[in-house]
Amino acid sequence: MLTRIEHRGPDDTGEIRRGNVWLGHQRLSIMDVEGGHQPLTDAGATTYLVANGEIYNHRHIREDLGHALFETGSDSEAALHALIVDGPAGLARLRGMFALAFTTQDGDFLAARDPLGVKPLYWVRRDDVTLFASELRAFDVEDRPLVETFPPGHCWSPAGGLVRFADTVPAHVRPARRAEEPGVWERSLVKSVREAIVTAVENRMMSDVGVGVFLSGGLDSAIVAAVAAEYAAEHRQPLPTFAVGSPGSADLAAARRVAEYLDAKHHNIEHHEVVMSRQDAVDALPRAVRAIEHYDPSLVRSAVPNLLLAEYAVRHVHAVLTGEGADELFAGYAYYHREPFTDPDALQAELVRTVGELHHLNLQRCDRASMAFGLEAREPFLDRDVIELALSIPPEHKMIGPGIEEKKLLREAFEGWLPDEILHRGKEQFGDGSGAKEVLEEAVRSSPDVAAAEGVELRNREEAGFYAIWRQELDGIRPDRTLGLFATT
């Protein structure tokens, strides 16, 4: 199982067996490259932990628990000691993206996944054994019909079973009040949005091996790049940015404009472009479907350029920031502004729903396409504080109208940070702006018709083609148990 996900952590391999518990880990070395080998253990070698992801508040946890407990600079060690000190309640201390497994010398065991499901986790429950892994491909063929998605915000132990420790969207988060006039808000709200996003980006800049930005040229990734560039300049660091698109594509041109603007301002941008030919996209298609372990057309279209970008970017950095999540929080997609979501309550409910489904969709694509090459993607807009603030904003403030463009509040929060033509650039899907959509639709027109295969409902010929590739790679997997089909609108 560990060998099948070696690509997720090509830097190191570690494993231990204690009693009837076995832990294995493929490491991508980002924090404490020399000392962060996993499984991590305490000074007495009585507890062990493997973790995938990042604990962004690990320094605060060190302060709270006492630096004397810690033996490495690894952020994952904060999770180890939080669980030692507080047991499962220690999960509430963790701010970040993670899937982890923890065991003691006596055979106690706990597995857990972050509240949003940014980091993947799957499991198989048999009478004689319970298995966990970060990707579907890790499981043996005979176990694949039993594979399920491990739910975000939950932990599991043999003694306590499956327990929710955090909601994806906390129950207390509700819009503060009805907006009296759409598109008009207090300056304090603009300031709060900007400060929350700036803090989230800065927290995700932690690394001992450098961080870059995936820069699509759209508003969301441009905001992330602008904040990251300022942080990097303050710390006298370069900021690599990476863009992908077909020759002459809108995304490449817009990303180049952002990079030039930020470099003129901070003198620290190292911009890279991956020019994707039609043949590049066609050749990458089966690799992309296999990598993301999904066949949804919108995900596959964006996964192809994403995969090519990750393959290039990993030569320069081990981690990148992305703009994922902003559209779900600030109503960036066109369908949010059509019936029935022109009603504020319906819009709010749909935003909450789509944030909760991200782990099945864009987050799965984002994680797999990058980790296929041992590159970690980080999503500042999906910071817990940003989510809570964004979903507490009256939904009327996210609705469009005469003179009110989508995500107006977000655009206003970052006036002066970006060129005006980028700040007010309209929404374009990544797979469309990069030039991949038409190429990939054409590439699968001659695929075998498997629309009735195994009773799986497929929506069009394009999806049938992607499904044929997916099924060839992941024979035995039940998509209804692992993909949350179908959550897109």
Residues annotated within a binding site for L-glutamine:
75
Count CB-CB contacts under 10 A for residue 127.
Answer: 5
Q: Do residues 206 and 396 touch, judged by C-beta distance below 8 A?
A: no
Strands (E), 122-225: 122-125, 130-133, 148-149, 154-157, 161-164, 211-214
- Annotated binding site for ATP, which residues? 244
Residues constituting the chain: 489
In the block, tokens 């504020």 appear at 344
- Annotated binding site, which residues? 75, 244
Residue 311's H or E segment, with its range, is helix 297-313
Strands (E), 158-309: 161-164, 211-214, 239-245, 269-275
Beta-sheet strand order (sheet of 130-133)? 130-133, 122-125, 148-149
Residue 421's H or E segment, with its range, is helix 420-423
Chain center to CA of 292: 12
Residue 122's H or E segment, with its range, is strand 122-125
- As a whole number of angstroms, the distance between CA 391 and CA 328 comes to 10
Q: Do residues 488 and 459 touch, judged by C-beta distance below 8 A?
A: no
Chain center to CA of 451: 30
What sign does the CA torsion over 27, 31, 32, 36 have?
A: negative
Q: Do residues 114 and 99 touch, judged by C-beta distance below 8 A?
A: yes
